[in-house]
Amino acid sequence: MSALDAVTFGEAMAMFMACEPGPLHEVAAFERGLAGAETNVAVGLARLGHRSGWIGRVGADPFGSYALATLRAEGVDTGAATVDDAAPTGFQLKGLALGGDPEVFYFRKGSAGSRLTASEATDACIASARHLHLTGIPLALSASTRAFAVRALEIARANGATVSFDPNIRPTLWSSEAELVEATNAIAAAADWVLPGRTEGLLLTGRDSADGIADFYLTLGASRVAVKDGAAGASLHTTHGRLDHPGFRVGVVDTVGAGDGFAAGLISAYLDGLDDAAALERASAVGALATTHRGDRDGLPTRAGLDAFTAAAAMAPTT
C-alpha cells in the first residue's frame, strides 16, 4: 500500500439528477452522477494534486462499477474498497435546484455501503495516510460502519495522522436526536479539526453562535474549529482567536457539496503547510466553487482552476 496524503471512507451512491424542474415524482428525465460526501472530499483533494484514498463497499452491480470507475478516473485510490455480492449499491434522486437546496430522496437501506467492515487492507490504507477525514454519516448508517469509524480514528491516531471531522448530520438516519448528538460529539472529541455548519452546530451543542459552537469543541480538545454559515461565510477558531472569511460571490446552481468542498480545501491547505488565514480562504474558495454546478463534485476545482479563481477574486472590486 503506497502512502497517501489523505484518506476517507463512507457510502458511495449513484445519483440521478432531474433534468427539469418540479417535484421528483413528476420528473421524466434524469442525468446520472455520483453522490457521497466522502467521495466528494476524496475527489476534491485529488483534483488539487493530493494523493487521496477512499474506502467503502459497493454492490456487484452497475452502480457499484460506475462508482469505482469514476473515483479511479479522478485519481482517487480505491485499493481498499470492496465489492459486496449480497447487497446493492445505494442510489438517490435529486431535484433540479435552480440556485438553492434541491429535493433529495434516498434508496440506501440495506445497501452495500452500510455493510462496511474493517480488514487488513483497510487498516493498512488508513495507517499509510498523513490525514484521515471522517463525517458523521457512517456513524448513522449501521453498527458496523460506526465501529469502522471508531477503528479508523484509533489507527490514524496511533500512526500520527491528523484527523478532521465534519458532522454532516442526517437526522433521518438516526433513531433519536439524543443518540445522534452523543455519538457525533464522541467522535468530534477525538478529532483535531471539527467542521460543523452553523445550524447543525446548534443541534449538537445547544449554542447558537459561531463562538459558542467553537468553544464547545475547543473545550473537548479540538485544535481548530471551522464553523460554516452558508452565504454569510465561515469562521476558523483556535485557542488563539478567531478568523473570518465573508465567502466568495459565485453564481450558485446547487448548494449540495459545498461543505465537502470546504473540507477538501481546508485539508489541502494544511497538507500544503499553509497558515490558518490562507487555509480558511482556500476552504471558502473550494466550497464556493462546488456550488456552481449541478453535480455534487462537478464544481470542485483543479489546482490551476483554484488559483485562477482566487486571483480573479482578488482583482475584483470590493464594492
Residue 136 CB partners (closer than 8 Å, separation 6+): 165, 166, 167, 168, 169, 170, 183, 184, 187
Find the catalytic residue in 5, 61, 84, 260. Answer: 260
- The residues with which 34 forms a beta bridge, in sequence order, are 14
User: What phi and psi values does residue 188 have, to the nearest 5 degrees?
Assistant: -60, -35
- Number of neighbouring beta carbons within 10 Å of residue 182: 11
For 92, 138, 140, 228, the CA distances from 200, given in Å and listed in that order, are 22, 17, 15, 10
CA neighbours closer than 13 Å in the CB half-sphere of residue 306? 28
The answer to whether the beta carbons of residues 195 and 226 sit under 8 Å apart is: yes
Grid cell listed for 65: 462499477
The dihedral region occupied by 49, where left means phi > 0, alpha psi between -120 and 50, and beta the remainder, is: left
Identify the sign of the CA torsion 237, 127, 138, 6. positive
Looking only at the bridges linking them, the beta strands covering 30-35 and 13-18 are antiparallel
Let me know the angle formed at the C-alpha of 86 by 180 and 297, rounded to the nearest 5 degrees: 55
The yes-or-no answer on residue 211 being catalytic is no
Active site amino acids: 260
